[in-house]
Amino acid sequence: MKALVTGGAGYIGSVTTELLLDSGHDVIVFDNLERGHRAAVDRRARFVKGDLRDRKKIAAVMAREKPDAVMHFAAYALVGESMDKPETYFGNNLVGGVNLAEAMLAAGVGKIVFSSTCATYGQPQRTPITEDEPQRPINPYGESKLLLEKALDWYRRIRGMQTVFLRYFNACGATKRFGEDHDPETHLIPIVLQAALGKRDRVTIFGEDYDTPDGTCLRDYIHIVDLAQAHILALTSAVSGAFNLGNGNGYSVKEVIETARQVTGHPIPAAAGPRRPGDPARLLAAADKARTELGWKPKHPDLRAIIESAWAWHRAHPDGYADKRPERNG
């Protein structure tokens, strides 16, 4: 199949593009390279530099390419930043997503696999979280993703678009070629590995007084290759709907740091700090629906294996992607 992948130069988009190509699909990557990296775009994909806020551009690319489906990753994805700059999040994630969907409708492209997030649930009432948990986001990031889910769901109901919402839990790990390179980095595993590489003095643990076994937050860490596989299954399936993607295993911040110490052989100094605003104590997925309806089976649930894959990538790319700002570097 021919897939147009927005955000294919980003972390999850780059790995999904790699796996799509490995499975024999044809891929066009559409990315503005604001936060993604040209070097993260698989050479087998065709690349179009463009921004979803530019309606004419995405409409022209969609009309020209007429892909079988769109995989939509392009978005800002930092909770804290969204609290400082809500307009940036609604402007890009929501308006950009609506522009994308309009371009699809105009070109007769009838299928979208959308990167959504467990942040649409906000502070969950029950854990593990099922897809029918009330969606009450507690930050503009989660709200921007939820609003786009809602708009797309109306396009499904009225226009017959096939819509798959993949609600990720904590994406992590790497393939041999593509890994996580954000600037600034805010995610736990890359931060811990940067400390192992000597690029940070220490890791700050955001709160040790949660109601969890060791007092630190529990998260559901899901390997990027497993996430990418779910997209490929969604591409070839006829279903519409929302699917949580996680392992259902919770690991605490302290467990992540301790596992990284074992994997890297580095001491990784860590110190307790205050809680980070907006962090729920536990976020764990019930992903039975993805298993039953998409036939998804995560193959890399083990935290140690996840961290080993990320460590291999970070050691091979201590400065991330070399062409961090290709436009400025010429």
Interface with ligand UDP in residues 258-317 (CB under 6 A): 276, 279
Q: Which residue has the tokens 């299928």?
A: 111
Residue whose CB is less far from ligand UDP, 46 or 276: 276
Select the span of 27-35, 105-113, 137-145, 199-207 touching ligand UDP (CB under 6 A): 199-207
Q: Nearest-CA neighbor of 165 among 134, 130, 131?
A: 131
Q: Which of 40, 45, 152, 191 binds ligand UDP (CB under 6 A)?
A: 191
| Residue choice 153, 177, 206, 302 for contact with ligand UDP (CB under 6 A) | 206
Rounded to the nearest whole angstrom, what is the least distance from the CB of residue 253 to ligand UDP in the complex?
Answer: 4
Q: Is 249 in the site for ligand UDP (CB under 6 A)?
A: no
CB closer to ligand UDP, 90 vs 206: 206
In the bound complex, what is the minimum distance in angstroms from residue 199's beta carbon to ligand UDP?
A: 13
Cβ-based nearer residue to ligand UDP, 19 or 171 = 171
Binding of residue 253 to ligand UDP (CB under 6 A): yes
Query: 255 or 293, CB closer to ligand UDP?
Result: 255
Closest CA to 304 of 221, 236, 208: 221
User: Strands 270-273 and 203-206: what pairing?
Assistant: parallel
DSSP string, 70-118: EEE--S---HHHHHH-HHHHIIIIIIIHHHHHHHHHHHT--EEEEEEEG
Candidate list 88, 130, 194, 204; residue touching ligand UDP; CB under 6 A: 204
Tell me: does residue 219 bind ligand UDP (CB under 6 A).
yes
Minimal distance, residue 301 CB to ligand UDP, in Å:
17
Least separation, in Å, of the C-beta of 196 and ligand UDP?
13
Can 141 be counted among the known catalytic residues?
A: yes
CA pair distance 234, 240, nearest whole angstrom: 9
CB 259 within 8 Å of CB 303? yes
Catalytic residue among 76, 141, 251, 321: 141
Name the residue nearer to ligand UDP (CB basis): 68 or 214: 214
Span near ligand UDP by CB under 6 A; candidates 126-134, 157-165, 204-212, 239-247: 204-212
Instruction: Judge contact between 167 and 305, C-beta under 8 A.
Output: no
CB-based contact 256:291 (threshold 8 Å): no
Nearer to ligand UDP by C-beta: 80 or 134?
80
Coil vs helix vs strand at 255:
helix
Q: Which residues contact 29 (CB under 8 A, 6 or more apart)?
A: 5, 8, 9, 13, 17, 41, 42, 45, 46, 47, 48
Q: Which of 205, 227, 230, 268 binds ligand UDP (CB under 6 A)?
A: 205
CA 266 from centre of chain? 28
212 binds ligand UDP (CB under 6 A): no
For residue 158, the surrounding DSSP H or E stretch is helix 140-159
Residue 40: DSSP 8-state: G
Distances, alpha carbon 160 to alpha carbons 86, 112, 148, 212, 220, in Å: 31, 11, 16, 44, 33
**From 12, 188, 227, 233, residue interacting with ligand UDP (rule: CB under 6 A):** 188
- Rounded CA-CA distance 195/188 in Å is 11
Give the footprint of ligand UDP on residues 166-185 (CB under 6 A): 170
Kindly list the residues in this chain that would bind ligand UDP in the complex (CB under 6 A).
170, 186-188, 191, 203-206, 217, 219, 253, 276, 279
- Which are the catalytic amino acids? 141
